[in-house]
Structure formats: C-alpha cells, structure tokens
Amino acid sequence: MTDLYYETNGEGDTLVLLHSGGTDLRDWQFIAPGLSQDFRVVTYDQRGQGRSPVPVQPINHVADFKELLDSLHIERGVLVGHSIGGQIATDFALEYPGRVQRLILIAPGLTGFEWSPSFQKMAQDMWAVVPDAEKMLHIMLNTPECYAVQGAMQSPQRDFVVQIHRENVEKSLTWKSFEQLWTAHPLTIDRLGEIETETLFIVGTDEKADVLRIAVLFEQVPNIRFVRILNADHALTWTHPSEVVDAVKGFLKHPMAFE
C-alpha cells in the first residue's frame, strides 16, 4: 500500500495528476474540478510534499508513482504532469508504456537535461541560506528567469501560491534525505524518440528559457502535439486554468482536432 496522500474525485476514465516541484496537489486546485466533471481524477502529494511523509532515504519518484497506481488498482490511465510531475510521468511512460493511455505534459522537466547556469545558481543561493525558510522562499519566487511564476505573483492567487510554497519549503527542512533517483541508463533525454504514447505538450509563451529548450527536444516524440498558452509562464495551472482544462479535454475527447 502507498503511504502517499492522495485524493480521488469524479467518475469515468482515470486521469492521474502529478504536481510541480515546491508545491503539492494544490497545484491542481483550479484544474481538478473542471476535469472531474468528465473523468475520475486522482491527485496526490509527492514524497516530502503536502501531506505525504518526508523522505528518509533517496526518493524514487517513479517507484512511488507505480506503488500509488498499484494501490489504487489503476492498471492504465492518462498521466497529466506539471514541471517535475511531467518529468516523473515521462520516465514512467518509458518504463511502463502499457500503463499509460495518454501522456499530457505541462512545462515538464526532463531527466538528463542540463539546467542553465542561472538556474543552478538559484539553487546554490537557496542552499546558502538554509535553514532560513523565508529567505529560501524569496529567492525561489523572485528569480523569474529561473522560476517563472511572476504571473501568479501578480495575480489574485498570489497569497495562495506563496503559502503553498512556504509550507513546502518549511517541510523540506525536515527531510532526512535530499537525493532523488532518476532513470539513468540510458537517460530519458536520449530516449524521447522511443515514447510510443500519444502525447500533448502544454507550455506558456512566457515560460523560462530552460523549459522552452525542453519543448524543442520533445519534438522528437513521434506522436506529439503542442499547445502554447499566450501570456502564461510556469504558473499556468493557477493563472490560466480554463485554457489548460480546455486543452486537456480537447486532446482527450477530440484528438483529431490536434492533428
């Protein structure tokens, strides 16, 4: 049985939503209700986030996710992953292709991708101020070229977004292990052409440069469609939920419209 916290809403074909880093299942606060009108929607907190337990050993997100699906008796479903959630979903789709009905990626990460020096500096700057959670939070949310959530920071959801990140930054200070295990041989970045699953890639036009570079790499996927949301950045699940929901539903109900 999984020890991860999860929620299930709606009926129909199963969609499993994998949230972005530094957040939890509230990443889908404005997305899940719209999708659960037509589908069974599962959201969960990754290990160390939200209401899931903190890691006491290296985190294997793909193994955690498989255990979640097994516990819920989900043999096959649609995966919707945002940021690191998209990275997990992509790795899972390559390792267990028969269990993924369709793959929907929202500004995903990518195993094997080398993040820009500015992004790596942001991470180093955050480590340098540990355990001051407020300073860590300030660096994260105010480095737009690396962590592009300025749309949310200037929106009515600002306080909500800050609170989610604050809670998860504070929780990260209690982790016993920070190591994360990813598919390494071969790296996912070198296997994109092997993805068999019909794939949708959603990205904002104001996204950070690294993710736009990842979008170009995903053009190698044989059966992929792209939706670009105008004036959206990395926080598009909070700032442009209706556009995201429409893109997901359109792809699932009328895939030929994306040809």
What is the per-residue pLDDT across 115-149, written as a single tens digit (0 to 9) for each?
A: 999 999 999 999 999 999 999 999 999 988 888 89
Any bridge partners for residue 202, and if so which? 106, 227
CA distance 84 to 132: 24
Model confidence, pTM: 0.96
- pLDDT value of residue 210: 96
Strand partners, 119: none
Q: Please tell me the predicted confidence (pLDDT) of residue 255.
A: 62
- Report the distance separating Cα 203 and Cα 106, nearest Å: 6
Residue 226: is its pLDDT beyond 80?
yes
| Residue 184 confidence (pLDDT) | 78
**Which helix or strand (DSSP H or E) is residue 81 part of?**
strand 77-82
The answer to whether residues 236 and 228 touch, using CB atoms and an 8 Å cutoff, is no
C-alpha 238/C-alpha 161 separation (Å) is 8
| Helical packing angle, 133-141 and 117-128, nearest 10° | 160
